[in-house]
């Protein structure tokens, strides 16, 4: 009889641990979606005609960035695997790729910006 009482408690403990890890992931995603950033380090890229692209890094989520586009709008991008350099993208089709101080911003594969880090 005692064994039967131990099994439900073990299952409950496992369930709580599983839910805690799921909640932690949810909290991390929720934090990323909020505009909680520190203005530094702000990375500025400059193209050949003098246009600037501003990139802000999140304090609590270094794998995410906020990009201020040329029209003043902002996009949240998440880091994805890259063969070389660092690549970020989002579900709207924006992609920012940075390698050795150079960056390229694309929307659905079309180049919107190409510049160097300042």
pTM: 0.65
Strand, coil or helix: 80: strand
Contact 53, 101 (CB under 8 A): no
The confidence score (pLDDT) of residue 44 equals: 92
Q: Are residues 77 and 89 in the same domain?
A: yes
pLDDT in tens, the chain (118 residues): 444 444 444 433 444 444 333 333 333 343 344 455 454 568 899 999 999 999 988 777 778 899 999 899 999 999 999 888 899 999 999 999 999 999 999 999 999 999 999 8
CA distance 87 to 81: 7
Q: Are residues 107 and 56 in the same domain?
A: yes
Domain membership of residue 13 as a residue range? 1-33
The confidence score (pLDDT) of residue 1 equals: 47
Look at the chain and report how many structural domains it folds into.
Answer: 2
């Amino acid at each position: 009889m005692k064994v039967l009482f131990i099994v439900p408690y073990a299952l409950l403990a496992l369930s709580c641990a599983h839910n805690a890890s799921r909640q932690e992931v949810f909290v991390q995603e929720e934090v990323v979606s909020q505009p909680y950033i520190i203005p530094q380090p702000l990375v500025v890229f400059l193209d050949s005609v003098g246009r600037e692209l501003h990139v802000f890094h999140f304090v609590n989520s270094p794998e995410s960035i906020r990009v201020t586009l040329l029209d003043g709008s902002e996009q949240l991008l998440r880091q994805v695997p890259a063969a070389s350099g660092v690549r970020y993208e989002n579900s709207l089709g924006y992609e920012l790729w940075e390698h050795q101080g150079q960056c390229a911003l694309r929307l659905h594969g079309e180049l919107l910006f190409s510049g160097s880090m300042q």
